[in-house]
Structure 1
Amino acid sequence: MILLNHKIFKKLVLRRTKIGRASDVALPPTTVSVRRDFLDREELDYYETLYKEFQAKLDRYFRENTMGDHRVEIVDLITRLRQVTNHRYLVEFSQKEELNAEDLASSAADKQESGICHKPEEDPVDLTSNKDVRDDDDKIMVKYFRSSRILKNIELENFQTSTKLEALREEIRFMIERDGSAKGIVFSQFTSFLDLIYYSLYKSGVSCVLLNGSMSRAARDAVVKRFNVEPNCRILLMTLKAGGIALNLTVASHVFIMDPWWNPALELQAQDRIHRIGQYKPTRVVKFVIADTVEEKILKVLEKKRLVAQGILDGSSEAMEQLSVSDFQTMFGK
């Protein structure tokens, strides 16, 4: 049936891929890797406590045959677990975090020692040693601090890092060590997590700017201009909604995806912000995943969705072989 759908789609859908244009549009190579880290003991205890609490609720709903009645709540519970893998502050200090509308609708329809108990280590090299740049960053940080809901609720003098924050800091250091002029884009679905990243990088001496979907056109243009023009502005923090607009950010050669998205096509859009015409450097994409958590289960779901799409659009025999009978039944509502 999927092969039949492929034949139908082939007649109706016109697809232009990078592979199809490889002969006349030469792009540098791109590498995509998944970085898996483990929560430290304190983070893991916190995660498992929430997981058991949520699991008890799901078991009760299942016994009462009321799963459908609590669908929105279940999605919210999954979202909470995802947030905890980023940083426990997202659950402790922020109000209910709203995902991008498309992401939420989609979900409803279908190593370093420094961990949570340690303060973040300082980078050995200040990447923004230029005093003028640092002064500008200080002014921006004060203004941003006043507008950030989560940062206002945290005692910043006792700010605690997380496994993902430390993993990102490490990857940024690697990026700079390999290429002194390199820039990167950090994507997350959670605006509050971007606030925490902003503060963590600022304390580390990494100059960065933030772009989100609530910004005016003028503010968005100013952020993009600074990132493109200023050599010391290394990192652009971006939300899913903002990343979906037509942005050409080929000044960057690295993409860091902090949390998996329900729609794999959106991850490809994020990667294509840098891997497009005008890019002259090899590009690198790093996806961060916390092992043995809900994030790994989400990755399995995404891989199934990718195989279904690949089978329908490309008629891939490899994709067909990896899909189970239950996957086929799910596709047709059986």
Structure 2
Amino acid sequence: DLYSYFRFLRYDPYAAYKYFCSSIKIPIAKNPAKGYPKLQAILQTIMLRRTKGTSCFFSLTTLLDGEPIINLPPKVIELRKVEFTKAERDFYSRLESDSRAQFKEYAAAGTVKQNYVNILLMLLRLRQACDHPLLVRGFDSNSSWKLSIETARKLPQEKLTFLLSCLSSLELCGICNDPPEDAVVTICGHVFCNQCISEHLTGDDKQCPTKNCKGQLSASSVFSNTSLNSSLSEQPGEDKSLDCSGSKVVEVIGPCSEDSLNDSSKIKAALDVLKSLAKPQDNRLRTSGCPEGSSDLQSPDSLNGLPDGKDLVMGASSNDSSKAPGEKAIVFSQWTRMLDLFEACLKSSSIQYRRLDGTMSVAARDKAVKDFNTLPEVSVMIMSLKAASLGLNMVAACHVLLLDLWWNPTTEDQAIDRAHRIGQTRPVTVLRLTVKDTVEDRILALQQKKRKMVASAFGEDETGGRQTRLTVEDLEYLFMA
């Protein structure tokens, strides 16, 4: 990644790849302790970097008469390992076995890079299976497809078939450049995440965000797989066999029952936490590894080696936690379909909540935030990671639950900072839910590896930095480790 910047800036002599390798890349590979200091010295002369600890005018760690200008309450990170039920484990094991077999085929043929998007999609399915089997089995929430089905019915069969083929083309989302979640296709044939394109359409610019496309869009001109197939099935002579799952490993998964909506160990664990918020206890959570008054983000790696199957809480038991009545929580997931499932469980548990995701209008989002911050009876906000923008102020919450892991740990940090920011007066507890013996274990390890690489390159211990594209070695580790 650094070489591409040096080349673009024509920063000689490091703009020459041979010199870059001999003076930076190879020394770091042979001896990081000696190689990284040279890279740090180079970066200090050419890089301007803004981190969480800095702003336009001052740093949060700037001292005035020996005291920090701003004192934030402590922030404690908990990592809880959730155990699959037998049914969930069987489902996940089958999916993982098929995914590994497919990856081995690509590796044996030397086509891993050519199938990069399909491999990311297989990883997406494994990660979704850690949340809920319905996310993999094709659960379709009542999202925007109802708004576009009337338009789809008026389209000719050739257009419907073309749009379905676009959905099955394994394209990345044109906005976030990730495998699309709740994939939709525009009338002009471009594929996006439902949430990404919905958020784009809530603004004033209704033009397709794809480069060089001037198509004008609306909610009725964005189609899901469901709406297209539904319209196609109403036309004579249609081909109903077109599958837009985009991955062979999903074909082995059968349909699921509506009775299984609550069959998720993660959802049950999260609900248990939310229900416990109303129970007053004696002691506020403190940890031996996080001194009182500290607000440093603790890395997942520091939790490794603790017993599995228990609450992993940086040297403390969850029984030590104290939650005063009226405390609020934010629950994050990166998948809107997971939010749909969790929302249904909140309703059945009679827990007052609000929801915020990219598919909502600006007015609806503002109202949800206002209700959460001002109404005492609203104790939970469920929110998508992509909607956790920097401008949101959610200091009414002092608990944050992360239902799933994201490649980029700084994206999670941004989400947490909706509650742990200027204006927060109470300690903030962050709970990261992961499933034991799954791809999530390897994602945690990969996150820590990336954090250490960034910290070493910049010569600091601060977490952060842009997450790099997954390498072939990363993919092999995630599938085969």
Q: Structure 2-normalised TM-score?
A: 0.53
Determine the C-alpha separation between the residues in 2 that align with 1:102 and 1:175: 35
Partner of 1:173: 275
Alignment of 1:1-334 (within 5 A): 1-11=35-45, 12-15=47-50, 17=53, 20-21=61-62, 23-94=68-139, 101-102=175-176, 104=178, 159-177=261-279, 178-316=323-461
Q: Which sits farther off after the overlay, 12-21 or 22-31?
A: 12-21
Aligned 8 A contact 2:266 2:433 in 1: yes
How far 1:156 moved relative to its partner? 5.1
Q: Secondary structure at the match of 1:246?
A: coil
CA distance change for structure 1 residues 248 and 65 in 2, over 3 Å: closer, same or farther? same
Deviation digits for residues 23-53 of structure 1, max 9, x if unmatched? 1101111101111111111100000011111
Determine the C-alpha separation between the residues in 1 that align with 2:120 and 2:364: 33
Determine the C-alpha separation between the residues in 1 that align with 2:176 and 2:38: 29
How far 1:174 moved relative to its partner? 2.8
Amino acid at match of 1:71: Y
Determine the C-alpha separation between the residues in 1 that align with 2:95 and 2:413: 31
Determine the C-alpha separation between the residues in 2 that align with 1:103 and 1:283: 32
Q: Secondary structure at the match of 2:429?
A: strand
Aligned 8 A contact 2:392 2:418 in 1: yes
How far 1:258 moved relative to its partner? 0.8
Determine the C-alpha separation between the residues in 2 that align with 1:204 and 1:99: 35
How far 1:19 moved relative to its partner? 6.0
Q: Secondary structure at the match of 2:454?
A: helix
Amino acid at match of 2:120: V
Deviation digits for residues 87-121 of structure 1, max 9, x if unmatched? 0011113369988954727xxxxxxxxxxxxxxxx
Determine the C-alpha separation between the residues in 2 that align with 1:265 and 1:100: 22
How many matched pairs?
274
CA distance change for structure 1 residues 92 and 80 in 2, over 3 Å: closer, same or farther? same
CA distance change for structure 1 residues 157 and 38 in 2, over 3 Å: closer, same or farther? closer
Determine the C-alpha separation between the residues in 1 that align with 2:424 and 2:270: 23
Aligned 8 A contact 1:32 1:286 in 2: yes
Unaligned runs of 5+ in 2: 1-34, 54-58, 141-166, 180-225, 227-254, 280-322, 463-470, 475-481
Determine the C-alpha separation between the residues in 2 that align with 1:282 and 1:41: 37
Amino acid at match of 1:20: T
CA distance change for structure 1 residues 40 and 158 in 2, over 3 Å: closer, same or farther? closer
Determine the C-alpha separation between the residues in 1 that align with 2:173 and 2:424: 30
Aligned 8 A contact 2:262 2:345 in 1: no
Aligned 8 A contact 1:99 1:190 in 2: no
CA distance change for structure 1 residues 216 and 316 in 2, over 3 Å: closer, same or farther? closer
Identical positions, percent: 31
CA distance change for structure 1 residues 54 and 187 in 2, over 3 Å: closer, same or farther? same
Q: Which sits farther off after the overlay, 212-221 or 284-293?
A: 212-221
Determine the C-alpha separation between the residues in 2 that align with 1:45 and 1:204: 28
Q: Secondary structure at the match of 1:68?
A: coil
Determine the C-alpha separation between the residues in 1 that align with 2:448 and 2:383: 24
Determine the C-alpha separation between the residues in 1 that align with 2:349 and 2:83: 22
CA distance change for structure 1 residues 101 and 88 in 2, over 3 Å: closer, same or farther? farther
Determine the C-alpha separation between the residues in 2 that align with 1:221 and 1:25: 27
How far 1:194 moved relative to its partner? 0.6
Deviation digits for residues 270-295 of structure 1, max 9, x if unmatched? 11111111101110101111010001
Amino acid at match of 1:285: V
Determine the C-alpha separation between the residues in 2 that align with 1:44 and 1:157: 18
Determine the C-alpha separation between the residues in 1 that align with 2:339 and 2:400: 14
Partner of 1:114: none
Amino acid at match of 2:43: F
Amino acid at match of 2:266: K
Amino acid at match of 2:37: L
Aligned 8 A contact 2:134 2:261 in 1: no
Aligned 8 A contact 1:211 1:238 in 2: yes
Unaligned runs of 5+ in 1: 106-148, 318-326
Amino acid at match of 2:455: Q
